Amino acid sequence: MLGTLTNAVAVLIGGGVGLLLQSRLSSRVTENLLRVMGLCVCVIGLASAIRGDTLLLVASLATGVIIGEMADIDGGLNHFGRWLQSRISRGEGSTLAEGFVTATLLFCVGAMAIVGSIDSGLRGDHTIIFTKSVIDGVTAMIFASALGPGVLLSAASILIYQGAIVLCASALQSVFSAELITQISAVGGVMILALGLNMTLEAKIKAANLLPAFFTAAGYYFLVLA
């Protein structure tokens, strides 16, 4: 849980700094900050991806994205986010609610949160979550300066959401072999690389639609490599 706790604290610190700066950050500074963070995400994703079996990556990601696109996971998550925000962000407290909902969706709904938490639970490797913590801290600073203290409340969502994934992954640790974990992490690395490209180049890759590749990667491993 070290990585998850660090992530939550980073959001609190970043959000606190954002409240102090309150609209003093220029758009040029925030844009360049996010792009630099995107480059770091690309490096982390690439480092994980190159450890995997090439055929497994191609097969699992190809079948995974077909499933994800047919199910429209990305569209479903975005629709849920808009519905949740419309339900909560009403009345006088709309700014507080908007900050909480927007930040929660940004920090929790994404491949980096899932892959990082799985790595943290299965291997005790917090590298991805620590990297995400830095990015989330910077993002929380930017969002809090614009949306107010509701952004800081998203730290609780991180603890609950990512903590649950870490605990589930830890419980399955004895079931997964070290090689399977490596292959799953490699697939996750490609998803993280996609997020980095989105942040840096505005590539608009629907990374959420790649999530079924986790399951197709496990299936390929047991059928072909095991």
Residue 225 is classified by DSSP as: I
The residues, any chain, with a CB within 8 Å of residue 29's CB and separated by 6 or more, are none
Give, in order, the Cα–Cα distances in Å from 161 to each of 55, 84, 117, 168.
Answer: 32, 16, 9, 11
Look at the block and give the residue holding tokens 């991806």: 49
User: What is the model's pLDDT at position 40?
Assistant: 81
Read off the pLDDT band of 94 (50, 70, 90). Answer: low
Position 92 scores a pLDDT of 46
Q: Report pLDDT digits (tens) over 109-130.
A: 666 787 788 888 888 889 889 9
Q: What is the pLDDT of residue 85?
A: 64
Can you give the pTM of this predicted structure?
Answer: 0.73
Spatial CB neighbours of 96, under 8 Å, sequence gap ≥ 6: 148, 149, 150, 153
CB atoms within 10 A of CB 2: 12
Listed range (10-14, 15-19, 63-67) with the worst mean pLDDT: 15-19
The pLDDT confidence band at residue 155, using thresholds 50, 70 and 90, is very high
Report how far residue 49's alpha carbon sits from residue 191's, in angstroms, rounded to the nearest whole number.
9
Rounded CA gap, 38 and 199, in Å?
5
Given this model, what pLDDT does residue 128 score?
86
> Looking at residue 205, what is its pLDDT?
85
pLDDT digits (tens, 9 = 90+) for 34-44: 788 788 878 87
Count CB neighbours of 20 within 10 A: 11
| Distance from C-alpha of 65 to C-alpha of 149, rounded to nearest angstrom | 37
Selection from 84, 118, 131 nearest residue 187 by Cα: 118
Portion of the chain with pLDDT greater than 90, in percent: 26
Instruction: Determine the pLDDT at residue 88.
Output: 62
Average pLDDT over residues 78-102: 65
Domain limits, the chain? 2-225
pLDDT grade for 21, boundaries at 50, 70 and 90: confident
pLDDT of 207 strictly over 70: yes
**pLDDT tens readout for residues 43-70:** 878 888 898 899 999 999 999 999 999 9
